[in-house]
């Protein structure tokens, strides 16, 4: 078993708090670390990989702190977000260099095996500078897998990939998870995480916001209050009729529109057309105003704050 535990971890850079009192446990299988840009995902992953110490708290692998613990590095593979792989090397040389850094007894064989896993044998003799985004991602993955780590951490691995490359990487991650490895990848796209992760951890503004399977996270996101903007032939009367209804928790007349805070979407979607018909009011616009990913995530954080 390879279990990563993050216990009350905070990490700051000068005045910037990148990770704020996060506690989570990552076990075997595929976990998606979901959060908007700047949420602290890279910082968390770098600490899990043992390349950055927490400012406070502890990150452990099977109970052993990973920071400056050489034995832990033998079990962890990191695929960083950066594209700065050694462009002048060919793929084979790059993976082999990593095998040598790991001090493996037969670096050539280990590199060849890892390159096979990511299906890059045909391109191993080509310079990395000629690779596509997806190929670069795969060769970085081979480098991370060369010592057969039981933990694989990937920072935004799907960024910039085309759909075919995406599917291929998803299949690889699923396979690694099914083999019993502890696989964690970060993403800011819920659907991406849904397709491959069996477990999801959500972080927002450096804080741990939610955790669970896809259904749980999706439910948390859709159950939140939604804000709608409505324009109609008689905003004043419609607003008066909406006030106090159980499906809404706030109604405001603002300029040429009504802003409604909706707590029960299903109920509201039946109520509004019915009310308009009853009052002889024509609806010109009904649009959500807070559908940005940021607002969805903030709600998750707000719910726990
Ligand atoms: N080396 C650093 N020095 C100063 N601030 C940093 C440093 N690294 C990250 N930060 C800040 O810490 C916060 C979290 O950044 P982090 O890169 O961990 O988030 P992220 O979720 O991975 O975002 P992204 O997907 O945009 O990389 C951000 O506000 C970022 O600007």
- Distance CA(92)–CA(228), nearest Å, equals 55
Distance 41 CA to ligand 1 centre (A): 8
State which residues of the chain have pLDDT below 50. Answer: 303-305
Nearest CA, atom 6, ligand 1? 13
45 Cβ closer than 6 Å to some ligand 1 atom: no
* pLDDT given for residue 160 in this prediction: 77
The structural architecture, per CATH, of the domain 223-290 is: 2-Layer Sandwich (3.30)
Alpha helix positions (H), the chain:
41-48, 70-73, 91-101, 107-117, 133-145, 163-178, 190-196, 214-222, 235-242, 265-279, 293-304
Distance 43 CA to ligand 1 centre (A): 6
* pLDDT given for residue 87 in this prediction: 80
Nearest CA, atom 1, ligand 1? 13
157 Cβ closer than 6 Å to some ligand 1 atom: no
- Distance CA(99)–CA(78), nearest Å, equals 13
Q: What is the pLDDT of residues 55-76, one digit of tens each?
A: 999 999 999 999 988 888 889 9
* pLDDT given for residue 70 in this prediction: 81
* pLDDT given for residue 305 in this prediction: 32
39 Cβ closer than 6 Å to some ligand 1 atom: yes
167 and 174 in contact (C-beta within 8 Å)? no
* pLDDT given for residue 269 in this prediction: 82
Q: Among 16, 37, 83, which is best to mutate for testing ligand 1, by the most ligand atoms less than 8 A from CB?
A: 16
Distance 45 CA to ligand 1 centre (A): 11
Q: Measured between alpha carbons, how far apart are the two ends of the chain, in Å?
A: 33
Domain ranges across the chain = 4-221, 223-290
pTM for this one? Answer: 0.78
Q: Among 13, 47, 192, which is best to mutate for testing ligand 1, by the most ligand atoms less than 8 A from CB?
A: 13
Q: What is the pLDDT of residues 112-159, one digit of tens each?
A: 999 999 999 999 999 999 998 888 989 999 999 999 999 999 999 998
| Closest among 48, 120, 41, 35 to 78, alpha carbons compared | 48
* pLDDT given for residue 223 in this prediction: 64
* ipTM attached to this prediction: 0.94
CATH superfamily of 4-221: P-loop containing nucleotide triphosphate hydrolases (3.40.50.300)
Nearest CA, atom 11, ligand 1? 18
Distance 18 CA to ligand 1 centre (A): 6
**Residue 89 CB neighbours (<10 A):** 16
């Amino acid at each position: 078993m390879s279990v990563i535990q993050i216990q009350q971890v905070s990490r700051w850079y000068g005045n910037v708090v990148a990770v704020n009192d996060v506690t989570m446990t990552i076990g075997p299988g595929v976990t998606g670390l979901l959060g908007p840009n700047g949420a602290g995902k890279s910082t968390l992953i770098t600490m899990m990989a043992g390349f950055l110490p927490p400012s406070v708290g502890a990150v452990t692998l099977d109970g052993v702190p990973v920071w400056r613990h050489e034995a832990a590095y033998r079990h962890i593979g990191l695929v960083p977000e950066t594209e700065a792989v050694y462009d002048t090397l060919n793929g084979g040389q790059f993976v082999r260099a990593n095998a040598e850094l790991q001090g493996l007894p037969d670096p050539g064989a280990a590199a060849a095996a890892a390159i096979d896993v990511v299906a890059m044998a045909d391109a191993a003799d080509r310079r990395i500078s000629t690779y596509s985004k997806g190929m670069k991602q795969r060769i970085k993955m081979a480098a991370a897998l060369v010592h057969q780590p039981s933990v694989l951490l990937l920072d935004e691995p799907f960024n910039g990939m085309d759909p075919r490359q995406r599917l291929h990487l998803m299949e690889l991650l699923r396979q690694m998870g099914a083999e019993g490895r502890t696989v964690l990848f970060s993403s800011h796209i819920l659907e991406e995480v849904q397709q491959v992760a069996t477990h999801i951890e959500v972080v927002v503004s450096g804080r741990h916001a939610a955790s669970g399977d896809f259904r749980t996270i999706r439910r948390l996101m859709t159950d939140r209050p939604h804000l709608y903007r409505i324009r109609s032939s008689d905003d004043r009367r419609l607003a008066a009729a909406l006030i106090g209804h159980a499906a809404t928790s706030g109604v405001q007349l603002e300029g040429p529109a009504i802003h409604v805070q909706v707590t029960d979407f299903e109920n509201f979607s039946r109520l509004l057309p019915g009310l308009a018909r009853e009052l002889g009011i024509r609806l010109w616009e009904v649009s959500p105003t807070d559908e940005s990913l940021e607002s969805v995530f903030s709600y998750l954080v707000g719910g726990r704050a």
